[in-house]
Amino acid sequence: MQSQPSKRIDWRAVEVWKIQGVFKALIMAIPLVPAVFLVREFSWPRWVPVLLAVVVILYGILEVAMLPRLRWERWRYQVQQEEIDLQRGIWFIKRTLIPMGRVQHVDTRQGILMRRYGLATVIISTAAGAHQIPALREDIAGGLRDSIVRLAQVSDDVL
């Protein structure tokens, strides 16, 4: 088996993922409002909103305090002459090799939060689907996109 890819995504990904985790937890907290109303108005058991609150708090702790760092530590990539090697996952590590000859097009994408941190995602499209390399510095993402396009073009010319 090949050694793991050598390049890492930007460390600021941890901060972006923490902020996204806060938003996810807040969205998960929305059902607490109707649960409290149902307890008051219809004499539902009080443990319903308490259980929901515990779930939201645990989810928030995971999404903000634990998972972003683990996600960053596991995310690696490497672009080589013949293939793109992606490795990601927290509990289960997923490894994807994308042959250059299969690359159809490459995009970069930035959301509001990523733009605020100067980060971008590279999206590699093949006939089988799309693959992402998240949270790269903008200049690195642009250079990587151009490099993959060049290598994929050379790969097509060889075939």
Q: What is the pLDDT of residues 17-26, one digit of tens each?
A: 999 999 999 9
The mean of the pLDDT values for the chain is: 93
DSSP 3: P
The answer to whether residue 105 scores a pLDDT higher than 60 is yes
How far is Cα 11 from Cα 73, in angstroms, rounded to an integer?
9
The answer to whether residue 154 scores a pLDDT higher than 70 is no
Q: What is the pLDDT of residue 82?
A: 95
Q: Which residues lie across from 105 on neighbouring strands?
A: 125
- Asked if 121 and 110 touch (Cβ cutoff 8 Å), the reply is yes
Write the Ramachandran bin of 130: left for phi over 0, alpha for psi from -120 to 50, otherwise beta. beta
With b meaning 16 or more CB within 10 Å and e meaning fewer, what string describes 70-102?
Answer: ebbebbbbebeeebbbbbbeeeeeeeeebebeb
The answer to whether residue 54 scores a pLDDT higher than 90 is yes
Q: How confident is the model at residue 157 (pLDDT cuts 50, 70, 90)?
A: low
